[in-house]
Every structure is written in structure tokens, then in C-alpha cells.
Amino acid sequence: MAGKKFTEKHRITYYEGDQTGKATIPMLMNIMILASEDQSEALNVGSDVVDPTGLGWVVTQYVINVKRLPSIDEVVEVGTEAVNHNDYFCQRDFWISDENGEEIVRVTSIFVLMNRTTRKMSKLLPEVIGPYESEPVKRIVRLPKVASTDSEPIFDQKYAVRYFDIDANHHVNNARYFEWMLNTVDDQWLTEEFPVMINIRYHREVQPEQMVQSVVRSIESDDDSKRTLHQVLVNDEVYCEAEIEWQPRLV
Amino acid sequence: MAGKKFTEKHRITYYEGDQTGKATIPMLMNIMILASEDQSEALNVGSDVVDPTGLGWVVTQYVINVKRLPSIDEVVEVGTEAVNHNDYFCQRDFWISDENGEEIVRVTSIFVLMNRTTRKMSKLLPEVIGPYESEPVKRIVRLPKVASTDSEPIFDQKYAVRYFDIDANHHVNNARYFEWMLNTVDDQWLTEEFPVMINIRYHREVQPEQMVQSVVRSIESDDDSKRTLHQVLVNDEVYCEAEIEWQPRLV
């Protein structure tokens, strides 16, 4: 048993790619969220239905696994499914497949419904969750914790939240957190390596006009893997953290 | 007489819009450039043909007229045409029309071919310009100069060029200049007004890892129009400047 699947085609445009000729992680997150918004519209539980309840969907964690980043001009299939849910949490999966039907990106995420005024979590409303046919379960998947480390920061950068970071929901677009985090890694690294795994956890929402600090640390690992820990802070409080595992780009 | 016209449909996604629910200017520039790249591919003079000549297309000026900004989820038609050219300069027009066929954005621009190593302008090669069927003329259109003013800056902001500002051609994406410029205007202004006209002139190319300074001034006008002058500087040298005329958003 599982929820209704929704898929749509998407062509990666040049402005969704970077100097390696591949799609960027922030843009891949954008196109996957677009698929979930399009599913919600198709099921008649889009923002025009959810907004009047005073609630809104908020993601708390993504675990992203990347086999291969799609290339600029490649046409991919983007899919999503609300897999299951308990009273408060919903597991939503996303995937991207290439023209041969091979899955190249897989994301598992946790969504909650939040009161848009008090910013407190709400129980999932049957009329909002029902149409996805997500399976009701006692316990939803427990995603791995983001690793921790005591090592000294490698790099540290301040960013002012800009007008163009804010989306139509008046929030900082989720994808911007990825830009702040990835921008702390030097350009050569970003052109030679790619994130094969990202485990990102959102604790608090960055607000318009705030100043964020993006910090990166290296994580020592038992195996040969190359890992970094990223934190986005506001006034020294961690608003978002992510663990990234890197691998050399093949092409 | 004029060149071959090329059009394609484009749906404005939520990540191409801002908190007003409308497409952003930087994203509109991206989707228009995408149309010209798609035309070049369709005519077999895409980057795979131009790159081996050692040259590359570079825009020197855009004059952008906006009647109305398209909304998120709106499907628009994006068009482009290489109108005419002389030995060195090509006039390329762009337009965006809505589903009723009404033109809502019109852009006139000047493109040149530049040697990618020396960064010097080259004569337009017949094999590169020919397929567009642009009309050969003695004199191409003379676009208006960007206004000047001696007034004191209203606001001034430094930006580090980021990894995600660089596109697949290893240049700062043209659209990023618009973000640097528009970000100097305060958020309330940007939500209440929109640019009805932008005249932007590129003098030098900002390089990866440079630090730019974005300065905005108010322009006094004879009529009631509200105008700003924007400059992007590197080490106090003007790399790009733009004049923007503002009008209240209707919706």
C-alpha cells in the first residue's frame, strides 16, 4: 500500500545548470517541489484549498541520494508520492528518472502542517491529506540524524537574505538554504565533486531581511568517504543543518 | 524584410516568481535567452558550431519594455528574431505574449561576436549569422543612452560573485546583474512597483570570484515618472549600468 504517484516531464534549462553543464542541487529541489505542488493542484488540495485553513505544508527534513546529476537540455521525469503518515508527520518521496527510465535521484522527506500565524505544528487534516491516498501508519520512517562534529570550521560566510530569496509564500525558498551551504565550499571542489548524499534538517525558518551565517566543517569518517557538515545560523542559533557526502564527478 | 522568427511556449514556475506572484525580471531574461539558444540550435548554429570558431555571442545592451509581468503558472509564448545586422552588430528582438496573443514584454537588444580568448569584438561571420536571415543593413538601430545623474547614491551594496552566479559558459549569467541592481531597492518598493522600462548597458564582464558594488541613484525627471540609475562597479570602474522606470503594480 502506498499513496498516489504523480509524475511530470521537465527539461533542464541552461539557467537551472552550472558551469559543469549539470543541473544544480538547488534547482533539482525546485523542480521536485514543483511536482508536488502540481500533484496537489491535480488532487484539488492546492494552496487555494489549504490556505483558508490557516495551515501550510512545511518540510522538516530531506534525505537526498544522487546517482547522477542530469545535464542541461536533458528531459527528465520528476515524480512524487505521499507514502504514508501518522497524526502529525507525512513521508513524501521524490524521484527523478532519465529517458531510459533509470532513477538518478531519490529523495525521502518529512512534511508537517504548520499554523501559518503561530508557526506551531497542527494535526494533519483528513480533508487535506486524504486525496493523496497516503497510508495511515502508527510510526513513520525515522530518517538518519545529521552527523555532528567538534572540528573547527573550514569556512564561514555571512549572507543577507535578499528580495529574490523570498518566494510567493513569503518564505525564504527552501532551495536558497542549499545555495548558502554549497557556496561555502570552494569553486574547484564544486566543479570536481558532486553531492552523492545530502541529509538536511530544517529547525527554524529564516525570515526576510535576516542575516544568516553559513558554516562548513569537515567530518572525519571511518571509511574513505568525504563528508562535510553545514550549518545555517541566525544570531548563533542553528536554523538548518546538513551533512553532505561527496564523490568525484564522473564526466 | 526581417529575420526568421522563433517562438516557444513557457510555463512560469513558482521558482521563477517572487512574493508578488509574478515572474521576476531576472527569470524573464533567462527564458528569453533560452528562446534564442533554442532558435540557434534549431538553425544548426548553436554553441557546438560557434564555439569551435573561438567566438561567442555577447549582449551589449537591452532595452526592456514591460506592459505586465506574467503570473506564476501562466503559460506564455516567448519569441525572438535577429532583425538586422551590419558588419559588427546585430539587433535581436525578444517578446513575450500571453494566451490571448497580447504582447506583454518587448525587448530590443544588441549582440556582438567576441573572441573568447582576447575578449575583442570580431566581424560577424557569414556562416554564423546567415541562418537567422537577419537583414544586412548599413546602420543598425541606435538604442537610447542610459541616463546620467550627479545625485548622491540612495543605497550601495557589495556582492561577492558566487559559484551559482556562473553559467555553463563560465560567465556570470546576465540575469545576475539584474539581481544585484534590483536588490539595492528596498523590498516594499519592489513589491509595490514594477519596472516598466529597463535600459541596461554592459561595458565589461564581471569575472568569477570578483567583488561587485551595486549603487542606485534617483533620477530627476521632467514628467511624473519615477526613475532610478543603477551601476555595477568592480574596483570603482563601471562594468554595467541601467536606467529603470517604475510604475505601481496594478494587481
Q: What is the ipTM of this complex?
A: 0.94
pLDDT at residue A56 greater than cutoff 70: yes
Distance from CA of A1 to the nearest CA of B (A): 31
| Pairing assessment for the beta strands B75-85 and B90-97 based on DSSP bridges | antiparallel
- Looking at the complex, report in whole angstroms how far the Cα of residue B168 sits from the nearest Cα belonging to chain A: 4
Task: Based on the fold, state whether residues A17 and A120 are members of the same structural domain.
Answer: yes
- CA-to-CA distance for B32 and B93, rounded, in angstroms? 10
Average pLDDT over residues A137-166: 94
pLDDT at B1: 62
Q: At which of A103, A136, A169 does a domain end?
A: A136
Task: Using pLDDT thresholds of 50, 70 and 90, give the confidence band for residue A220.
Answer: confident
Inside any domain, residue B193: yes
> Which candidate from A19, A173, A208 shows the least CB-CB separation from B168?
A19
Backbone angles phi, psi at B122, to 5 degrees: -120, 160
Percent of chain A with pLDDT over 90: 89
CATH code, A232 = 3.10.129.10
Same domain, A45 and A76: yes
Residue B224 has a pLDDT of 79
Give pLDDT, residue B221: 78
Could you tell me if residue A131 is inside a domain? yes
**In-domain check, residue B143:** no
Asked whether residue B142 is domain-assigned, the answer is no
A147, part of any domain: no
Alpha carbons within 13 angstroms on the beta-carbon side of residue A61 total: 16
B9 in contact with chain A, both atoms CB, cutoff 8 A? no
The H or E element spanning position A181 is: helix A174-182
Same domain, yes or no: A90 and A17: yes
3 state SS of B12: coil
**For residue B200, which of B242, B168, B152, B137 has the smallest C-alpha distance?**
B242
Please name the helix (run of DSSP H) or strand (run of DSSP E) that holds residue A27, with its range, or none: helix A25-42
Q: What is the pLDDT of residue A221?
A: 78
Instruction: Identify the band that residue A223 occupies on the pLDDT scale cut at 50, 70 and 90.
Output: confident
Q: Is the pLDDT of residue A1 over 80?
A: no
Nearest CA in chain B to A23: B168
What band does A73 get if pLDDT is binned at 50, 70 and 90? very high
Question: B124 and B172: one domain?
Answer: no
Residue A74 domain flag: yes
* 3-class DSSP state of B129: helix
| Residue-level pLDDT at A170 | 86
Answer whether A175's CB lies under 8 Å from A183's CB: no
In terms of Cβ atoms closer than 10 Å to its own Cβ (0-12, 13-18, 19+), residue B205 is middle
Whether A146 maps to a domain, the answer reads: no
Q: In the beta sheet, which residues pair with residue A219?
A: A227
**pLDDT score of B251:** 63
Residues A11 and A124 in one domain: yes
> Do B126 and B27 share a domain, yes or no?
yes
Both B163 and B59 in one domain: the answer is no
Number of structural domains chain B divides into: 2
Determine the Cα–Cα distance for residues A36 and A80; give it in Å rounded to an integer: 6
Alpha helices in B117-162 (DSSP H): 126-129
**pLDDT < 70 regions, chain B:** 1, 251
* A50 in Cβ contact with A56 (< 8 Å): yes
What is the pLDDT, as a whole number, of residue A230?
98
Q: Which three cell numbers stand for residue B128?
A: 554564423
Q: Which residue of B has its CA nearest to A26?
A: B164
- Would you say residue B141 lies in a domain? no
Looking at the partner chain, which of A15, A33, A164 has a beta carbon nearest the beta carbon of B183? A164
Instruction: Please check whether residues A17 and A132 belong to one and the same domain.
Output: yes
How many pairs of residues across A and B have Cβ atoms under 8 Å apart? 90
Q: Does B144 touch chain A (CB under 8 A)?
A: no
Identify whether residues A55 and A160 lie together within a single domain.
no
Q: Is the domain of A24 the same as that of A99? A: yes
What is the C-alpha separation between A155 and A228, in angstroms, rounded?
11
Residue of B nearest to A160 (CA): B159
Name the packing angle between helices B25-42 and B174-182 (round to 10°). 170
Model confidence at A246: pLDDT above 80 = yes
Whether residues A106 and A186 share a domain: the answer is no
DSSP string, A203-229: -SPPPTT-EEEEEEEEE--SSS-EEEE
**Cα dist from A54 to A125, A166, A221, whole Å:** 11, 20, 44
Choose, out of B69, B164, B171, B193, the residue to mutate when testing the contact with A (most A CBs < 10 Å): B164
Q: What pLDDT digit, counting tens, does each position of A27-45 carry? A: 999 999 999 999 999 999 9
State the pairing for strand pair A103-115/A90-97.
antiparallel
**By residue range, what is the domain housing residue A17?**
5-136
Say if CB B34 and CB B108 are below 8 A apart.
no
Mean per-residue pLDDT, A88-96: 98
In chain B, which residue's Cα lies nearest the Cα of A73? B38
Q: What is the pLDDT of residue B141?
A: 95
Last residue of a domain, one of B86, B108, B136: B136
Query: Do A27 and A56 belong to one domain?
Result: yes
Contact B236/A at CB under 8 A:
no
